[in-house]
A and B are shown apart, each in its own frame.
Chain A
């Protein structure tokens, strides 16, 4: 079984973001970048499927600027067999990414596509669902368990208030939630080996996909800072203030 796993280059999750002075966007100059945490979980799941003998080949794919090849190399170091870079410097919205990934799916014909449920930069939580729609595949979003069977996959999903399990006919799209697995770290020899693994570059033009979007980013602002309040001296004082001042009890 062939598994396609999509990854995204985003700001490192430990970095405190800054909005540009002209409020046009978030400032990403000289900021540490990394693989989106949910994508790390997606790669890990693919690698585990291969270790279990379920997957025979793992293809990692990303859509993004030249530098996003770093994240593909990380995926290769973690266990992907080869990588595809759809190179664009443009600001690509989820729908365009889904269209580009569909073009890759059409070429690669994977049995399973695994993506992170959302990227921690734009927080959209859309691309996997959109890819599923465009390819006509069923979707198992927010997965906390993936169980591949003959011609189908059981996906346990984190839904509000609990878990739901669905059975999807393959090929299918799965998006990962936090509990699915705990990603490993790449080992140095694997990082060295990953440099020699095949990495193919494509362009949106070559894939015949327009990355234009109906969405326009008008501006970005910093949310109102929350001001610290007062320290209270005792439980009595706290309860009193919550009752009479804050009126929340």
Chain B
């Protein structure tokens, strides 16, 4: 077996997800190469070479790969895929954008969001927003897979893989980067944060979400919201945790004023420890919470911030 992993990068750095994808690749077994494609990606390549278990880092440094557009990345992967039995990427917006395109160009299926490696050709993945787990087997010659990074523990640093350039003639006449607007926040990203604190309709207003700020600052937590809070206009949709929003699985999830609709539970029930704060003691959120605190969130939140 030989596995190629598409490295994930943000702002010229290797993103944390890649170390989790390497862990999934190690569960499959075989030689593991990492592909770093972008413009000016030396630092990313160096970081990838340090991941435990990686035998080689292949670097495609060219302006055509800047901004990780799907069309050129898929074309590059198609050119390299002959050497591999598996191509993996994180189930991030980049992985999800690029890998199906590669799979179709190679006329093979793509397996999304795997949670577990059963064997080199058999994987478990969530369906119906995680309310069921499917086991699927692929008979395709090339397995193209996105990995739910929260389901695999990151590999450590300590490797020293060789770094080699790859040359491929890739052009991109049909899509062009126009601009991006990245959320300016010192807080970690919702999808990769170790602690998430989310507010629901019980927060009462968008202004009241400020009550979560101090706690998030102290804990180094990301702030999320339920769909009800988004629908009520309290906060923007990119904060939504749930079936139709972001799926998170942090070490600690604190649900504040969230009743616990199926929608929301689907997005956070794989968190290691769940805390629920709600004034309604019969709220369904308490059925999944490890620690429940019944009471008025407007009293509890300031007290909690003080105690941390």
Residues of A within 8 A of B (CB): 11, 13-14, 16-17, 19, 26, 37, 93-95, 98, 120-134, 136-139, 141-142, 154, 157-169, 172, 178-179, 213-223, 226, 228-232, 234-236, 238-239, 241-242, 246, 248-249
Contact = CB atoms under 8 A, between A and B. Distances in A.
A165 B288 contact: no
Interface string B97-108: 111111111011
Interface residues of B, number: 88
Interface stretch (B51-59, B135-143, B161-169): B135-143
B63 interface: no
Interface string B262-274: 1100000100111
Interface in B151-194: 173-183, 189, 191
Contact of B286 (A128, A215, A216, A231): A231
7 contacts: A123-B112, A123-B128, A133-B100, A160-B94, A223-B126, A223-B132, A246-B252
B182 A162 contact: yes
A interface majority secondary structure: mixed
Interface in B242-257: 243-245, 251-252
Given A95-B109, A235-B293, A166 B175 contact: yes
Given A123-B126, A125-B112, A163-B180, A238 B92 contact: no
A228 B272 contact: no
B16 to A, nearest CB: 11
A232 B291 CA distance: 6
A94 B138 CA distance: 14
B238 interface: yes
Interface centre among A98, A141, A241 (most CB of B within 10 A): A141
A46 B284 CA distance: 38
Contacts of A213: 109
A99 B234 CA distance: 42
Interface stretch (B33-41, B65-73, B201-209): B65-73
B287 interface: yes
A168 B140 CA distance: 31
A69 B63 CA distance: 46
Q: Is the interface of B mostly helix, strand, loop or mixed?
A: mixed
A11 B155 CA distance: 38
Closest 4 CB pairs of A and B: A214-B140, A162-B182, A129-B100, A229-B290
Nearest to A129: B100
Given A169-B174, A220-B132, A223-B133, A129 B104 contact: yes
A226 B269 contact: yes
B86 to A, nearest CB: 13
B10 A161 contact: yes
B135 A219 contact: yes
B262 to A, nearest CB: 6
A217 B69 contact: no
A245 to B, nearest CB: 9
Contacts of B236: 179
B178 A154 contact: yes
Given A11-B128, A242-B252, 9 more contacts: A121-B127, A123-B126, A124-B100, A134-B104, A139-B97, A213-B109, A222-B133, A229-B292, A246-B252
B132 A19 contact: yes
Contacts of A94: 100, 109-110
Nearest to B288: A226
B2 interface: no
B96 A141 contact: yes
B178 A215 contact: no
B133 A215 contact: no
Contacts of B130: 223
A216 B288 contact: no
Nearest to A163: B181
A141 B243 contact: no
B235 interface: no
